[in-house]
Amino acid sequence: MASNEEITGPISQDDIEAADKLKNEANEYFKRQSYNNAIELYTKAIEKNPKNAVFYANRSIANLRLENFGYALSDASKAIELDRAYTKAYYRRAASYMSLGKYKLALKDFEYVTKVRPNDQDAKMKYNECNKIVKKIAFEKAISVDKKEVNIADSINLDAMTIEDEYDGPVLEDGKVTLKFVTELMEFYKQQKKLHKKYAYKILIDVKAYLQKQPSLIDIKVADDKKFTVCGDIHGQYYDLMNIFKLNGLPSETNPYLFNGDFVDRGSFSVECIFTLFSFKLLFPDHFYMSRGNHETLDMNRMYGFRGEVTSKYTAQMADLFTEVYNWLPLAHCINSKVLVMHGGLFSKDDINLDDIRKVDRNKQPPEDGIMCELLWSDPQPMMGRAPSKRGVGCQFGPDVTNNFLQRNGLEYIIRSHEVKNDGYEVAHDGKCITVFSAPNYCDTMGNLGAFITMNGKDLKPNYTTYEAVPHPDVKPMAYANSFFSMLCQ
């Protein structure tokens, strides 16, 4: 898509004027956060006048907002190719690089701008800020080599943490999560209060100990007459999570759930979301399941707010412990040997089977390719075959890829999340690839519904419940995100 438009021959004045009109229309859609419509019109403008760098840079920022980092990078690069002096295009490319964790390449863009425009104070400031980030990451890597044998969970001294008399929140009973604890915790969080750090650390340590014993692919059995619920991304939208439980009942041994990754980041109540979910995991380990998403990773947490939120509400040490725990989250779940659920999608190779997923060594940050990466990052496409990912990570896979994978593995369909959908869900690939996204009005801007899927064990037929966003306290999304990244996306 992004920059393969051919630039051939002279462009007529009529086409130039038509393109400008399309760009102006696209800008209006962009202002209303209607990014897909904006992209469509920027694309039409480019078709009329493929020599205007502004069109590519504008489409780049729209793709950034949709997390299509690969497309955003390609468009920004095209804008730079067309106009080397176009500063904004460098900013867009830097934001794309940073979204993909390529901080040194982002720094190079700012360095170039400061050289060609030495009096540009904005570029100088961004260069300095980016340089700080690169140096900080280099420092963190250096000290992590020194302490790589250190296991944070084992180094926490819970006995040294005292519960202050004024603490009036929920209490673990004999160090265990109970139904009373988790119901009190949910109410406590609604009042914007904070779980005591001693209990927070204990939950993380216990969850890690449990997850370490689990395989990378979890097999789930659902009885014929029993209901099972699958939820998609919730992205730190705690009050919408509470609404899911209001609509569908609290998790229990008779009301099991699977939350399919991206519990945190973007939304500014991620700490509340993750401790609620982890509490249910400890309370009902065989009836409450959690998959790793692409946002349960260090680079994403560093950029999109979770690491900043944990550090603000607790400590940097706890943020490090979360990284340690997330490394052990399972990568996929298989329901009754018929429905495979993963956060992202399928694979760039045809010969992958369920045993290959079971064998993945997941205790790490995801690599840039391979099974683990693709389970977290890939997306379906309507066309046959495969294509490079619009995100710049993973791949895009067509209905033939889905069908072949299901046939080879004796499966009926797949459920995945990872993408905002206007209706909260989307059924693709002849009903065999379902996307579910459970964060309504994502980032307080997208206007989408949220959804969850229910099924019974007998026929595994998916039923969809959709819902609108509910009010939340006046804390904006991305409140804890890297301020430099927010600045780049302006």
* Secondary structure (H, E, C), 386-455: EEECCCCCCEEECHHHHHHHHHHHCCCEEEECCCCCCCCEEEECCCCEEEEECCCCHHHCCCCCEEEEEE
Q: Is 295 a catalytic residue?
A: yes
Instruction: Give dist(CA 226, CA 208) in Å, integer.
Output: 29
Nearest to 289 by CA among 277, 301, 298: 277
Contacts of 274 (CB under 8 A, 6+ apart): 263, 264, 322
* Segment holding 128, helix H or strand E: helix 121-146
Out of 196, 235, 295, 429, pick the active-site residue: 295
Supply 377's token pair: 């990052």
Are 54 and 79 in contact by the 8 Å Cβ rule? The answer is yes
Instruction: Give dist(CA 409, CA 297) in Å, integer.
Output: 28
Q: What does the DSSP assignment read for 235-290? A: TT-HHHHHHHHHHH---BTTB-EEE-S--SSSSTTHHHHHHHHHHHHHHSTTTEEE
Residue 436 CA, chain-centre distance (Å), reads 13
Residue 483: how many CA atoms within 13 Å on its side-chain side? 4
Supply 382's token pair: 């309507």
Instruction: Give dist(CA 336, CA 365) in Å, integer.
Output: 29
Tokens 């009050």: give the residue. 239
Residue 478 CA, chain-centre distance (Å), reads 13
Tokens 């380990």: give the residue. 285
Longest dimension (CA), the chain: 78
Q: What does the DSSP assignment read for 306-355? A: HHHHHHHHS-HHHHHHHHHHHTTS-SEEEETTTEEEESS---SSS---HH
Backbone angles phi, psi at 219, to 5 degrees: -95, 130
At residue 463, the 3 state secondary structure works out as strand
Cβ density class 240-255: b for 16+ within 10 Å, e for less = bbbbbeeebeebeeeb
- Exposed, middle or buried by CB within 10 Å (0-12, 13-18, 19+), for 459? exposed
**Catalytic machinery residues:** 295
